[in-house]
Structure 1
Amino acid sequence: MLEISIRKAINKLTNKLASSVNFTRAECEALLNMFVKFDPKKPFGKLDRMKFREILHHTFKMTDDVMIDRIFRVFDRDLDGGVNAQEWVMGLSTFLRGTLLEKTKFAFEVYDLNSDGRITREEMFQLLKYSLIKQPTDEDPDEGVRELVEITFKRLDVDHDGRLNFTDFQQAVEDNALLLEILGQCFPDEEVTTAFLSTFQEIEIPESVYYIKPAKSFMSSTAA
């Protein structure tokens, strides 16, 4: 009886989501079945922060816990401290199949630590100091990060008004796509994404789906 109830719930939610996400109906259903299996005792429970982190570690090969916690926050649309089945599918829609604009909005939300609609220098500092590889040196490591923050801020502040809002970030990414993940990895690598999606029966990646290599080349050229 419980299994029948779960199937009905999956079918109902699939019908609700299929027209609003970047997945086919079969893929929505597969993702919901996957969600149910995360905790068979609570098939339509919620993913807490630790379980979500474990999934991104093992399934999507993402290892930066600071960034993963921010991604969790973007998935958790109702801010109740857990990712439910609907948030899971809707989040993955952008995370795996998003257009450039969808991914730009997603990344901006990840980087906007206090959700006030702008990215400050201090927020950049907090993000970059954990993502950069620390080198043994006599110099103050924070000073190097702050120098990089200034360079990055000027590069992203398109209208040069000293404030970095979404319009600035969007324009910067449109001009140079490598800037999409300049403050930390928000999306899995293309190879990992393709491998994950290939487990579903229906795989047809739309032309609008956007993939990008990590922004290491920009970081390297900036530091040079």
Structure 2
Amino acid sequence: MAKNTTYKGYTKLAERIARNTHFTCEEVDALLHMYEVAGGGARWDGNKFRDAMHGLLGLTEETLMEGVYQVFDTDQDGSVGPEEFVVCMSVFLRGNLDELIEYCFSVYDHNGDGHVSKDEMAQLLKAAVVNVPPGEEQDEVLKDLVEVLLKRMDLNHDGKLNFEEYRTAVLAEPLLLEVLGPCLPEAQARERFLSTFLDTYGNKAQI
């Protein structure tokens, strides 16, 4: 995927990661440096991860951030290591639609059972339902919203959303990618990060 994985002077880790991501060796090296600086040389636990993603990309929604953290922690050891961070950032920042579909569904499928139930959908959408019309309860509004989404996306009518149903819906209408809540950085934050991280953490910044 990477355009250049042969720069001399980069670590073997950077070269190996670059071969399997959308980053160049130079970019991987900068991201590894960023990880080390932000973590003080230690692996990132959940609190450090949330603080870093908030500071770097403006992600704040607590319920979804727990799911994002679990996806980044690919070996499920309770922390996010440097390689996990860079590989997931590749999808996070430059992933194609298929990669983003898999990523977002993994965030929404918080318990990893292969589907998102009605209750899970309601929990994910709760942060989006802020202004409830007079005389209505939030739970009722959430229930109605979940039913609308299932009517459109639940192709086998089993009352829950599986990966293939979600993928089919998003391929037909990409705007549905984050239908259950924002688990990707906003475009402006993403572009700002991509345009500045090399200058901040790259080789020239380390001299």
Aligned partner of 1:157 in structure 2 is 154
2:34 alignment partner in structure 1? 34
Match of 1:210 in 2: none
Residue of structure 2 in register with 1:109 after alignment: 106
1:94-133 aligned at under 5 Å gives the runs: 94-133=91-130
Name the count of aligned residue pairs: 190
RMSD: 1.7
Name the counterpart of 1:188.
185
| Gapped regions of structure 2 (runs ≥ 5) | 1-9, 200-207
Render the CA deviation track for 1:120-170: whole Å, top value 9, x for unaligned: 111101111133224373322101101101111121113445442111111
Does 164-173 or 127-136 show the bigger shift? 127-136
TM-score, normalising length: structure 1: 0.80
C-alpha offsets along residues 30-84 of structure 1, whole Å, 9 cap, x if unaligned? 10011111133xx2x2111111111222221122111111101100011111100
Secondary structure of the structure 1 residue equivalent to 2:196? coil
Question: How far apart are the structure 2 equivalents of 1:58 and 1:47?
Answer: 14
| Alpha-carbon distance between aligned partners in 2 of 1:56 and 1:35, rounded to the nearest angstrom | 11
Matches of 1:178 and 1:189, distance apart in 2: 13
Distance 1:63 1:131 in 2: 13
| C-alpha contact 2:117 2:159 (8 A) present in aligned 1 | no
* Partner Cα distance (2:68, 2:43) in 1: 15
TM-score, normalising length: structure 2: 0.86
Counterparts of 1:73-88 in structure 2 under 5 Å? 73-88=70-85
Q: Does structure 2 retain, via aligned residues, the 8 Å contact 1:158–1:171?
A: no
State whether residues 121 and 146 of structure 2, in contact with CA within 8 Å, keep that contact through their aligned partners in structure 1. Answer: yes
Q: Percent of counterpart pairs with the same letter?
A: 40
CA distance in 1, matches of 2:149, 2:13: 42
Q: Which runs of 5 or more residues in structure 1 are unaligned?
A: 1-9, 203-224
